[in-house]
Amino acid sequence: MNWQPSELVRYGVNGIVATAAHYLVLFLSMEFFQFGSAGLANLLASIFGISVSFIGNRYFVFRSSGEGILVQAVKFAGLYAAIGLLHGFTLYIWTDIYSLSYHFGFLIAVMIQFSLGYLAGKNIVFKKFDALRVGSQGKFR
């Protein structure tokens, strides 16, 4: 696997920006728009956060030009749905089954999310395809 430190830093920065967008929409929904449900407000906010994350990953982190935006968006949505389930399952096992602090469980889940998000984003969602080059004798190089 070919990873670049600058790419990993951009991934972290993008994650911070996406998290801030998520929290801002959650805060505005609860405080300004007076949503009656924190769960509904968080669902709406997560859509914004994931959208910001997708755009940042596509144009800032991985600078992808491999597949079309719609294909990547579908893959990204599937990836983050799976990561969200894994995140919840991690907390369920850590806190609900083993009665350990949800604070530490959350940190473990975030580390898993960060790692899987980066690896799957780089190698599946935003994978760059090298064009096949044909040599002067008609052979692939």
The residue extents of the domains of the chain are 1-63, 66-127
Q: Exposed/middle/buried for 115, CB within 10 Å: 0-12, 13-18, 19+?
A: exposed
pLDDT at 45: 92
Structure tokens belonging to residue 66: 């491999």
Decide if 126 contacts 66 (C-beta within 8 A). yes
What is the pLDDT tens value at each position of the chain, 141 positions in all?
A: 566 889 999 999 999 999 999 999 999 999 999 998 998 998 899 999 999 999 999 999 998 767 899 999 999 999 999 998 998 899 899 989 999 998 898 899 999 999 999 999 999 999 876 544 444 454 444
